[in-house]
C-alpha cells in the first residue's frame, strides 16, 4: 500500500526540500568541478570517515530526547511525539530502524521511504500497520513541521556550531596526528574497510551516543551538547571503534576478537551482560588513553566521570592498569586477555 501523507501540505515538503537542496550556480560564474556544499547541511569527508549533521536528524534526536525524564523537563510539549510510535509498535526496538535512517536522510522521499521500512524486523505482524500509521503521523505532525519551524535557528546558530565541532573532530581524527588510524591499529582493526558516518546532533536519549549497522554502513549518532571538545573527541573515537569493529570480518585478529573468544571459552555466553561489559569496557579505556596520548596528558576518562567503570567491576580496574602497558609494548596481548578474563564476573 502506498501511503499518502495525511496532514503535511505540499508547501511544507517543498519548503523543506528547498532548504536542503543545493543552490543553483549563478549563470555568470564559471563551471565548477563540484557544486558547493549547501549551507543548510554539514557534510565533511575524509578517506575513512564522514561527519555530518542535518536538520531532520537533529530535530528527530531532539524529539526522541524529549521523551526522556531530562528532556521532558526541558521540552514537556514534545514528550508525546515519539512515545506514540513506541506504543503503536509495542516495543522500543522500533528505533533500531528509524533512528539511523532519519538521521542520515538527505532527500525528502519520506512517504515512499515509510512504505518500504522493514518493520517486520522488530514489530509483531499484528502491529505492523498501526506502527506505519503512527510513524506517518510522527513525520507529518512533528518531525517535518518542527524541522521547518527551526530552519532559521538551524542556519544561524546550530549549523555554525556543528560545523566548528565537526571540523575539530575531523582534524583531530584524520589530520596530521592520524589519531583514528592509530587507534584502530592499536587494537588490530583496519581503517580501510569502509567509511562510517558520524551524525552530530544536539541532544539524544541515553546513552547520548550509539552506533547502528545499516545497509549503507555503520552510522554513529553522537549528541554534542554539554561535552567539551576533548570529551566529544573521546566519545566519537569510542563510537568509531564500534563502527570499524562492525565492519571487520568475523575472523579478524583484533584484541576484541581475542577477548570475546576467551570469554566464551571461560563459559560466558554472548548474551550474558557480563560478556559485553568486559569487551565494551576496553572501548572506554582505549579511546580515553589514545586521547591522552594525542597531546592531552591530563585528560580524565569519560567512563570514570560518568561512573561507568565503578559499575563494571574488577575487570575494568585491571584493564585500566594493564592496557597502557600493552600500548607501550611492555605486556603481551595474550597475557592482557588472560588476566582480564580471569577477573570477568561469572567466568568459570
Does some domain include residue 41?
no
Does some domain include residue 242?
yes
Q: CATH number for the domain including 184?
A: 3.30.2010
Q: Is residue 2 pLDDT above 60, yes or no?
A: no
Tens of pLDDT along 22-76?
Answer: 433 333 334 434 433 444 689 999 989 999 998 989 999 999 999 999 999 999 9
Does some domain include residue 266?
yes
Whether residues 188 and 226 share a domain: the answer is: yes
CA dihedral 44, 46, 49, 50 (to 10 degrees): 20
Single pTM value for the model: 0.88
Radius of gyration of the chain (CA): 22
Task: Identify the domain boundary among 198, 213, 247.
Answer: 247
Number of other residues whose CB lies within 10 A of the CB of residue 68: 16
Does some domain include residue 5?
no
Tally: H helices and E strands in the chain: 18, 5
DSSP 8-state code for residue 298: T
Whether residues 332 and 301 share a domain: the answer is: yes
Does some domain include residue 213?
yes
Does some domain include residue 301?
yes
Does some domain include residue 299?
yes
Whose grid coordinates read 567539551?
228
Q: How far is 316 from 310, CA to CA, in rounded Å?
A: 8
Whether residues 337 and 284 share a domain: the answer is: yes
What's the Cα-to-Cα distance from 278 to each of 14, 163, 274, 307, 314, rounded to whole Å?
49, 35, 6, 15, 10
Q: Do 340 and 285 meet the contact criterion of CB atoms below 8 Å apart?
A: no
Total domain count for the chain?
2
Task: Identify the domain boundary among 247, 269, 297.
Answer: 247
pLDDT given at position 108: 53
Whether residues 268 and 296 share a domain: the answer is: yes
Whether residues 175 and 193 share a domain: the answer is: yes
pLDDT given at position 7: 45
Whether residues 241 and 173 share a domain: the answer is: yes
Q: How confident is the model at residue 151 (pLDDT cuts 50, 70, 90)?
A: confident
Tens of pLDDT along 106-141?
Answer: 545 666 788 888 999 999 999 999 999 999 999 999
Q: How far is 22 from 41, CA to CA, in rounded Å?
A: 9
Q: Is residue 157 pLDDT above 50, yes or no?
A: yes
Whose grid coordinates read 536519549?
205
Does some domain include residue 28?
no
- Which range marks the domain in which residue 330 is found? 255-342
Q: Looking at residues 316-325, what average pLDDT do you find?
A: 96
Q: Do 85 and 130 meet the contact criterion of CB atoms below 8 Å apart?
A: no
Question: Beta-strand (E) ranges in the chain?
Answer: 42-46, 49-53, 197-201, 209-212, 219-223
What DSSP string runs through 68-131? SHHHHHH-GGGTHHHHHHHHHHTSGGGHHHHHHHHHT--S--HHHHHHT--GGGTS-GGGHHHH
Tens of pLDDT along 249-293?
Answer: 988 999 999 999 999 999 999 999 989 999 999 999 999 999 999
Task: Identify the domain boundary among 247, 263, 283.
Answer: 247
Q: Do 220 and 209 meet the contact criterion of CB atoms below 8 Å apart?
A: yes
Whether residues 192 and 260 share a domain: the answer is: no
Amino acid at each position: 500500500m502506498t501511503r499518502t501523507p495525511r496532514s503535511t501540505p505540499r508547501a511544507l515538503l517543498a519548503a523543506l526540500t528547498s532548504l536542503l537542496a543545493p543552490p543553483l550556480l549563478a549563470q555568470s560564474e564559471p563551471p565548477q568541478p563540484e557544486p558547493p556544499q549547501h549551507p543548510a547541511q554539514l557534510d565533511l569527508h575524509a578517506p575513512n570517515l564522514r561527519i555530518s549533521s542535518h536538520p531532520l536528524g537533529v530535530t528527530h534526536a531532539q524529539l526522541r530526547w524529549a521523551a526522556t525524564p531530562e528532556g521532558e523537563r526541558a521540552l514537556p510539549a514534545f514528550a508525546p511525539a515519539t512515545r506514540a510510535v513506541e506504543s503503536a509498535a509495542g516495543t522500543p526496538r522500533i528505533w533500531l530502524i528509524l533512528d539511523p535512517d532519519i538521521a542520515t536522510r538527505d532527500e525528502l522521499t519520506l512517504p515512499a521511504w515509510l512504505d518500504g521500512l522493514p518493520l517486520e524486523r522488530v514489530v509483531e505482524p499484528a502491529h505492523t500497520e498501526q506502527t506505519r500509521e503512527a510513524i506517518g503521523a510522527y513525520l507529518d505532525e512533528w518531525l517535518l513541521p518542527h524541522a521547518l519551524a527551526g530552519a532559521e535557528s538551524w542556519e544561524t546558530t546550530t549549523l555554525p556550531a556543528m560545523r566548528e565541532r565537526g571540523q575539530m573532530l575531523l582534524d583531530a581524527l584524520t589530520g596530521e596526528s592520524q589519531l583514528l588510524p592509530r587507534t584502530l591499529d592499536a587494537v588490530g582493526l583496519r581503517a580501510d574497510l569502509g567509511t562510517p558516518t558520524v551524525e552530530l546532533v544536539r541532544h539524544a536519549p541515553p546513552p547520548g551516543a550509539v552506533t547502528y549497522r545499516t545497509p549503507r554502513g555503520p552510522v554513529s549518532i553522537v549528541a554534542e551538547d554539554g561535552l567539551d571538545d576533548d570529551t566529544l573527541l573521546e566519545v566519537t573515537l569510542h563510537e568509531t571503534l564500534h563502527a570499524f569493529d562492525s565492519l571487520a570480518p568475523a575472523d579478524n585478529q583484533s584484541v576484541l576478537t581475542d577477548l570475546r573468544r576467551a570469554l566464551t571459552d571461560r563459559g560466558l555466553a554472548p548474551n550474558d551482560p557480563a560478556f559485553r561489559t568486559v569487551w565494551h569496557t576496553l572501548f572506554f579505556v582505549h579511546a580515553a588513553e589514545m586521547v591522552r596520548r594525542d597531546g592531552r596528558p591530563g585528560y580524565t576518562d569519560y567512563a570514570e566521570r560518568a561512573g561507568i567503570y565503578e559499575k563494571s567491576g574488577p575487570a575494568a580496574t585491571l584493564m585500566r592498569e594493564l592496557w597502557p602497558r600493552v600500548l607501550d609494548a611492555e605486556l603481551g596481548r595474550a597475557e592482557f586477555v588472560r588476566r582480564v578474563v580471569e577477573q570477568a564476573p561469572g567466568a568459570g
